[in-house]
Amino acid sequence: MARITAGVTTSHVPAIAATIDGKKQDLPYWKPIFEGFRFSRQWMKEHKPDVAILIYNDHASAFDATIFPTFAIGCADEFLPADEGWGRRPVPKVIGHPDMACHIAQRLILDEFDMTVVNKMDVDHGLTVPLNLLFGELGPDEEWPCKVIPFPINVVQYPPPTGLRCYKLGQALRRAIESYPEDLKVVVFGTGGMSHQLQGTRAGLINKEWDTKFLDGLTKDPVALTKKPHIEYVREAGSEGIELVMWLAMRGALNDDVKEVYRFYHVPCSNTALGHIILENV
């Protein structure tokens, strides 16, 4: 059967995409950020997953206010990088795993999660930046080293799902993956966050203490994190801090006991706090 071996979280800051595409990684501002992922890229190269299930939020590239599903899954053969206003990113197209994705969709729906099955969509920086950070800076004629199943969660249009609902979704995702008959090694990504606010009088908000406690809880006590209400994310981590519920979906897909392999936290990254952690099942 397929098995989840590890979970990865990382911010998906759009300025990282612009930095990579403009080949500015060695600038003094950006170099410490990319150095912080050096270990992670080597770990991923050695870990060699067959499939990455990448939980992210779409930024009005595939969906807009006319339709914004709470939970969606990409079941197509491939997904092109989105044009977010300055052309498609010069990165490889994403090769999906439609058989596994359709299996997961069916199992989640029968497990009482109302999934939106998406058979055609473009994927934006929410998905491609994490791939860059963990797999490297590949060009459009190259290939990502594993198949990728896009898994968008709505944290843009109110109301977003609760942390508890996302954690339970992750648990159901684990059951779905483990029922897939092919012997595949799966890594689950949770992306977005950490503390940041992009507008209003609190624009630029960073809360390192709250972020650090969240990272600690992700490893040691994720159930406690599921009890946080929406208002705490907004108050403590800014209006965009709600993206962290997607990290709980990743954590729910892992075992109760995990090993923290690596952690990286950096401020500032654009006007956000960048967080990253690797957890392996034990």
- Residue 125 designated active-site: yes
Distances (CA, A) of 219 to 23, 201, 272: 34, 33, 22
**Region for residue 4 given its phi and psi (left: phi exceeds 0; alpha: psi -120 to 50; beta: otherwise):** beta
- Residue 47 designated active-site: no
Q: Are 146 and 49 contacting, i.e. CB atoms less than 8 angstroms apart?
A: yes
Phi, psi of 90 (to 5 degrees): -80, 65
Tell me which of 103, 125, 230, 276 is the catalytic residue. 125
Tell me which of 47, 103, 196, 276 is the catalytic residue. 196
Residue 148: is it exposed, middle or buried by C-beta count within 10 angstroms (0-12/13-18/19+)?
A: buried
Catalogue the active-site residues: 125, 196
